Amino acid sequence: HTQLFSLCYFVLLHRVPLIKGKSARESLEEQGLWDEYRGKFPFNPTRFDDQSLSVSSEQMTNDADLAYFGVISIGTPPQSFTVIFDTGSSNLWIPSIYCSSAACANHNKFNPGLSSTFKNAGKSLSIQYGTGSMTGFEGFDTVVVGGIPVKNQIFGLSQSEAPFMAHMKADGILGLAYPRLAASQATPVFDNMMTQHLVNQDMFSVYLTRNSEVGSMVTFGGVDPNHYYGQIAWIPLSSQMYWQITVDSVTVNGQIVACNGGCQAIVDTGTSNIVGPQADISSMARAVGAYSANGDNVVNCNSINNMPAMVFHIHGQAFTLPASTYVRQSTYYGCRTGLQSSNSDLWILGDIFIRQYYSIFSRAQNMVGLALAR
């Protein structure tokens, strides 16, 4: 009976394979353009400021290290797009044929005229980025995600996009955070999945491969036991807007080096690194033996095996990131840590953390589940 149950349950999981492609940074480094790009579009990892709580705008980042994309389709017949599945934002948007920005020229564009199920929502949309914005209008259509047809899904069709988006690998973004965060009060995709009873359980999970281009996965409707070891640690959210949790402290070699007395963090698939307040990030970098150069926390590639782990203490459990997980190696720029500072008190646990810990996002319980990724 148990076998039968698990088999049936398994069938009800909807998987979206993610491709781990080249990040914008890797491509720009190859072309010798990274320094110029970085000068033009200084990275702003901050995803939140007070304005972002207003109805019309939402902060997103120009993260040049993002590398995981999945394919969705919109319309009847379907038009396909690659998107970043982003737990740090809540809107779905893609480029449209009405956009003449450079960023739209090298991405797939949605043509509403070719879809028999498209309806114009008669509403404009503007999403603010660290270095520019995306503006456009909203429409409704059928969006297919992991084989699930979500009917009457509201989404943004871009009419102008900031220049840095020309370097983004994905066509658009599919936000998986809470409705409170959505620009123009648009209903997020996963909320429609829940309302339309398209998922078995009101949760989704994210598995990110370390090196392999294939194998990464967003699973809608449950948890995939093939993607983690051991127990799942369930952590209650401290706020239901981002997937926000309380971190008790960060230690290196048993000493508290950051987040002393506790701090707030979001688990964010739309950010590649670990982001925190400047003083804390500098303290962590010093503790692991990194030094600052060109805006990166740099380390000697030969010393990775001797560098200490960083430990995030969350809800009474220790989540350990060995040096091999938090050091990134570049063909052109040597080794750097995936630590970035921002001017916000809110921490971001990005892909570096999620690669090590399979992350489960439960709307049913308003919790994040973390388990050691396989």
Bridge partners, residue 240, by sequence = 243
Instruction: Quote the CA–CA distance of 48 and 43 in Å, as a whole number.
Output: 14
65 catalytic? Reply is no
Long-range contact list for 251-256, CB < 8 A, 24+ apart?
251/310, 251/311, 251/313, 252/284, 252/287, 252/288, 252/308, 252/309, 252/310, 252/311, 253/287, 253/308, 255/287
Instruction: Quote the CA–CA distance of 58 and 28 in Å, as a whole number.
Output: 27
Bridge partners, residue 337, by sequence = 327
Instruction: Quote the CA–CA distance of 183 and 54 in Å, as a whole number.
Output: 8
180 CB neighbour count, 10 Å cutoff: 13
202 catalytic? Reply is no
From 63, 141, 202, 268, the catalytic residue: 268
Q: Is the preceding peptide bond at 77 cis, omega within 30 degrees of 0? A: yes
Q: Are strands 216-220 and 14-20 parallel, antiparallel or unpaired?
A: antiparallel
**Measured torsion, CA atoms of residues 261, 59, 103, 99, in degrees rounded to the nearest 10:** 160
From 63, 65, 86, 141, the catalytic residue: 86
Write the DSSP assignment of 27-55 as a string of letters.
HHHHTT-HHHHHHHS--------GGGGSS
Catalytic residue numbers read 86, 268
